[in-house]
């Protein structure tokens, strides 16, 4: 059974950093999937935070540009989101997602809380 397991969430002060990871198992041809990170805060709609293609092209939500970095290791079948200079507005539940035509897999979600 294919699954994505997320880790790395937590509670931090503004300006601190966290690194989220997303480990895939039971999934062949990991390198063929697009990888996304989404987040959703209470009372707000879900938004796309970052994207990385099979070939390494990346795209970011403007609000996190320059602070977050998405990466992937196809050998380890792992995706990562490095979050630096965290702000209160980044507080949300974060989800990783792998997508290709006809297939769509989601992590369980991890909570990130940024407060002073």
Cα–Cα distance measured from residue 111 to residue 94, given in angstroms and rounded to the nearest whole number = 6
What are the tens digits of pLDDT across the range 39-92? 999 999 999 999 999 989 999 999 999 999 999 999 999 999 999 999 999 999
Percentage of residues of the chain with pLDDT beyond 70: 100
**Cα-only R_g, the chain:** 14
> Strand locations in 1-116, DSSP E?
3-7, 10-12, 18-25, 34-40, 47-52, 58-60, 68-73, 78-83, 92-100, 103-106, 110-114
Percentage of residues of the chain with pLDDT beyond 90: 95
């Amino acid at each position: 059974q294919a699954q994505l397991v997320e880790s790395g969430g937590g509670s931090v002060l503004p300006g601190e950093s966290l690194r989220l990871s997303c480990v895939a198992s039971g999934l062949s041809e990991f390198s063929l999937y697009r990888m996304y990170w989404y987040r959703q805060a209470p009372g707000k709609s879900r938004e796309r935070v970052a994207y990385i293609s099979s070939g390494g092209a990346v795209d970011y939500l403007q609000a996190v540009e320059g602070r977050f970095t998405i990466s992937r290791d196809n050998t380890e079948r792992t995706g990562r989101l490095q979050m630096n200079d965290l702000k209160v507005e980044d507080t949300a539940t974060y989800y990783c997602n792998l997508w290709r035509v006809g297939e769509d897999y989601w992590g369980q979600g991890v909570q990130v809380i940024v407060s002073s």
